[in-house]
Amino acid sequence: MSSVGTSGLEAATQSPGLLATVDQHVAGIRDSLSSDVRPLTAVILAAYAEGVRDAAFKHGWRPPAGPINWSKNDWVLNRLLGVCSLARTLS
């Protein structure tokens, strides 16, 4: 959440396009995790995010070195931001 969520969720409040992208990723994440009979938890979301990150690293993706430019359409960052958005809804 600290490396992606804080700046990304703030950016999404300012950008309808980014917000729509995040919403699409949230739906995709829910679909991916829908076969799990356990309730959605922070631990499950963290494991999912770790899997996304690890797969991205294997395919050559690297996180930005500085502040994230949310106007770029980076699938991995948007997916991780979707995880953060879902995590924020957990109580």
User: Which amino acid makes up residue 69?
Assistant: N
pTM of model > 0.85: yes
pLDDT tens digits, the chain, 91 residues: what are they? 777 878 889 999 999 999 999 999 999 999 999 887 788 899 999 999 999 999 999 999 999 988 999 999 899 999 999 999 999 998 6
Give residue limits of the domains in the chain. 5-89
Q: How many CB atoms lie within 10 A of CB 63?
A: 14
Contacts 24+ apart (CB under 8 A), 73-79: 73/21, 76/52, 77/4, 77/8, 78/18, 78/21, 78/22, 78/25, 79/25, 79/28, 79/29, 79/52
